[in-house]
Structure 1
């Protein structure tokens, strides 16, 4: 799949994601003094492609990088970057656990078998790197706890650790003057588990935190930027599903019937999938 550089405004550009290799969106935010790259990519090749597309289109190259959470597809690109990198202290601690890992097929299979790795990520790593696994985990050079504000000059980025089922260290990036909230993967389920799942408690806590940001655009790492109305629709579904899983104690058929009645129509595949994730999260 050919990746494209999309310009959202005179300050913000992003590289589109790729499914099979699990490449997330990479974004640049340019101020009068600095340019921040959000997430580093899932490989050196991914990061280098982003830098090349920025250069080829005459856009400023980043002199800072921030990563949203510890998962491989957001951090492996740091090895290709020579600029200061920023992450939460929790993200750095999680990344430290990866530094001694080997990435050959045998090592991946062993970690999948023991539950340290998941098959989905092992397959994507094989697809991204093929036989050349020149993987180096480079730790962030700047860390913060809870929140950090970065003044790029005329544009301000607030890095806020919000946590989520997907990753406890999850950080969102709020570009204040552009009213853009980079969500990363916070609205995705917990994947490093026997079954992918959401929990009502973590979901509601997350959504309450996201409501504090005055955003018109929301960026989902493995999807695309969405409007405020689209985000609110998604958030309402997650809140409703969190309520239903509590009311019906994870009974999926009752949850589906109630949500269908609530919408007065048959459920979409995406809506059913979300209910399944919540039902999976019931202990």
Structure 2
């Protein structure tokens, strides 16, 4: 079972589960209010998070969403507090509300290319045959950024976009030097071939580099990354993007130049990153 993990008196997270696509959920605890980051992929996921917080005396007051994808919002019905998102996220969630999540309808959307096969399979595993899914709309919306004051700690939420989802937001807690990155650095999965694009990635990296954080949370990574590990990941993505641009999407040429620059064979992560950029070229 997922176990609530304490980073500090102000910061907690619930680790992800790959099989059913449960993302990391965060809690920022102020002297006056507690803000949750993402609602989880189901009522069961959200209930587990809330229960473990209650066991240590923490009650949720607000909820912030990093983007509209199902695994981050389907738990909203269990979190009876005001919720916050960017305006684009609100619109995307509203589009999902009338959809059916039964097998035949999921399968049809997969066939049409409007649903991701991995996500459809994860939903079936997470929910079983109980598909009483009620999707709630966010209460408060913002355009570019919003600061939430919780009492001796703040959370700065910024719309950053990216290939994975154009509504992606990050949540920065300056007092803790912690950044919840959500899914913004992941590839676009709503495509025939999962991909990155050079322009969107370079713009996103520039936005993320400005944050002075020591702890970074990627929604589907097992635990937080250090500053060095996170910036190494950013550097990999930046290098792959620039080499894709320089070599006009020639995968072999990109492999060779990156390998020459590193003076070693490329590892699995580097090959995957290059593949995503070539797919989006």
TM bucket (normalised to shorter chain) is over 0.9
Residue 157 of structure 1 corresponds to 155
Map residues 96-107 of structure 1 onto 2, 5 A cutoff. Answer: 96-107=94-105
Shift of 1:4: 1.4
Whole-Å Cα distance in 2 between the matches of residues 207 and 114 of structure 1?
32
Partners of 1:27 and 1:163 in 2: how far apart?
20
CA distance in 2, matches of 1:59, 1:127: 31
Q: TM-score scaled by structure 2?
A: 0.98
Q: CA deviation at 1:225?
A: 0.8
Find the counterpart in structure 1 of residue 29 from structure 2: 30
- The C-alpha deviation readout for 1:118-176, integer Å capped at 9, x for no partner, is 10110110110111111111000111110000000000100000001000000000001
Is 1:253 aligned to residue 252 of structure 2?
yes
Equivalent of 1:74 in 72, 75, 79: 72
Match of 1:128 among 121, 126, 141: 126
1:206-245 mapped onto 2 (5 Å cutoff): 206-223=204-221, 224-245=223-244
Question: How far apart are residue 228 of structure 1 and its match?
Answer: 0.7
The runs of at least 4 aligned residues of structure 1 exceeding 6 Å deviation read: none
Paired with 2:209 and 2:108, the residues of 1 have a C-alpha distance of 41
Question: Distance between the aligned counterparts of 1:138 and 1:42, measured in 2?
Answer: 13
Alignment of 1:74-223 (within 5 A): 74-223=72-221
Alignment coverage as a number of residue pairs: 280
Task: Tell me the C-alpha RMSD between the 2 structures.
Answer: 0.7
Q: Distance in 2 between matches of 1:240 and 1:142?
A: 38
Q: 1: distance between equivalents of 2:85 and 2:49?
A: 20
Residue deviations 1:50-80 (CA, integer Å, cap 9, x gap): 0111122x14121100010000000001011
What 5-or-longer segments of structure 1 have no aligned partner?
A: none
Structure 1 residue 100 displacement after superposition: 0.5
Find the aligned partners of 1:156 and 1:13 in 2 and give their Cα distance. 15
Q: Give the gaps of 5 or more residues in structure 2.
A: none
